[in-house]
Amino acid sequence: MFIRDVFYTFSTEIFAVAINFAVGVVLARILTPAERGIMVLVMTFPWTIASFANLGYPQANIYLLGRKKYDARTILGNSLVAVAILGMLSVIVLSVTKRALLSTVLRGLPAEYWLPLMLLVFAFLVDVMLLSILRARQRFDLFNLRRLVTPILMLVGFTIALALSNGRLSAAVGAYVVVTVLTAILSLILTGREVPLTLTFNRRLTGDSLRFGLKSYLQNLVGAINYRLDVYLLAFFLTPEQVAFYGVATSLAEVAWHIPDSVGMVLFPRLSNAPMEEIHQITAKVCRNTLAITGLIVAGLLAVGWLFVPLFYGPAYHAAVPPLLILLPGVMSMAIYKVLTRNFTSRNRQRIPILASGVALTLNLGLDWALIPRWGIAGAAIASTAGYTAAGGILLIFFLSESGVSWREALLPRLGELIGHLRWIRTSFRDRAERA
């Protein structure tokens, strides 16, 4: 069951990577680098705000449902009420800070796009809450269906909007908003098939959600800032063109994250339902196999990235190659982090990932501030890699200490296990072909 869910989730990620790559090429070829940089901010900022605003409810939903503390209908109804409240508070805070944001970390973003950003915040909040219910119920078929549809709609939406508008940036922003809202509606429909949709407020559940969720919230919030801090500081120090080049570098480097992301999405619900005595061994096995496959992807990007970027995105984007190559070693450390953080969260030990993320954020911020003015996007990549390495290393040290697992068990792949996984995949494809 676990290997199946990881395989189908990863297959979904690979499909999404291919379509999102096509989306990136379309935007890079039609928009100017400055306009592409503005799109990076439009696509990044609302997600960051949603990470600030969710207060850890998605992680609490998975944990509380996995531990059978509440039924799914009550958790979903309470989450939807929380979305309405948190979304409104976010809009109020952002309205107060609008001028400061547009003159600093969103420098270069036209003020006319402010209202679409607010709508995106709501859409992301609704979406992440609904998807957490599907993950908690381990309905990865519905979860992956929604995630398959999104990049397809994005590619179609951007292509049609830019073709009809002769490549106007405002049309691209409008297409992104429409598709994001449509995918949130799709999540609502799919979740409603699994759990009856209601609006309820349960004080006891709200308290439990906040007690668990706020610990996960700090962990995920610091992580989200860590992932995107460099984009905002680049917008502050440099031009939208440089933001665009760095956006291409990070999007390609994060291709290697799709294995640990897929694993983590499936692993957290699995560990939340597993007996405590089995959690460490499951984590060690998953970590070593994830690291091996991520390493193969990183090696491929190191080998062909220098040719790949200018060939598909255009000669102007050759500037994205150095930061891409610098980011890749840090991706390996983040593969470890993305697996091990699920172990600590499933045991309600979020303070360890919070510590790791906090150290990484402090290091990243300090290096960004020192290196971006001097070395530009290459400096941002160095800072990110240093932060990622610190986060992964700290979690690994704590995991080995608490679990009694050796570093070899956690990091070194076993040929027999990898062969077994490949055999399962081959058998799965053969069975599907026979049924077809």
| Rg for the chain, CA atoms, rounded | 21
List C-alpha distances in Å: 313 to 23, 36, 168, 185, 251: 11, 11, 18, 32, 12
> What 3-state DSSP class applies to 103?
coil
Distance CA 321, CA 106 (A): 24
In this model, does residue 3 exceed pLDDT 60?
Answer: no
For residue range 183-237, what is the model confidence (pLDDT) as tens digits? 999 999 999 988 888 888 888 888 888 888 777 677 777 777 777 788 889 999 9
For residue range 142-151, what is the model confidence (pLDDT) as tens digits? 888 888 899 8
List C-alpha distances in Å: 219 to 63, 72, 135, 337: 15, 24, 19, 12
Distance CA 341, CA 56 (A): 14
Picking from 136, 157, 139, the residue whose alpha carbon sits closest to that of residue 147 is: 139
At 174, the pLDDT band (50, 70, 90 cuts) reads very high
Q: Which letter does DSSP use for residue 227 in this model? A: H
Distance CA 128, CA 62 (A): 12
Which residue do the tokens 């390996």 mark? 332
> What 3-state DSSP class applies to 412?
coil
Output 83-89 pairs: Cβ under 8 A, ≥24 positions apart.
83/122, 83/125, 83/126, 83/129, 86/53, 86/54, 86/55, 86/125, 87/53, 87/121, 87/122, 87/125, 89/53
In this model, does residue 258 exceed pLDDT 90?
Answer: no
Distance CA 198, CA 188 (A): 11
For residue range 48-101, what is the model confidence (pLDDT) as tens digits? 899 888 888 888 888 888 766 788 888 899 999 999 999 999 999 999 999 999
Mean pLDDT over all residues of the chain?
A: 85
pTM assigned to the model: 0.77
Distance CA 54, CA 87 (A): 9
CB atoms within 10 A of CB 432: 9
Q: Bigger pLDDT: 86 or 424?
A: 86
**Roughly what angle, to the nearest 10 degrees, separates helices 140-164 and 258-273?**
150
End-to-end CA distance of the chain: 22
Of the listed ranges 84-98, 157-171, 343-357, 361-375, the least confidently predicted one is 343-357
List of residues 6+ apart from 296 with CB closer than 8 A:
none
Residue 292: the pLDDT is 85
Distance CA 392, CA 316 (A): 34
List of residues 6+ apart from 127 with CB closer than 8 A:
180, 183, 184, 187
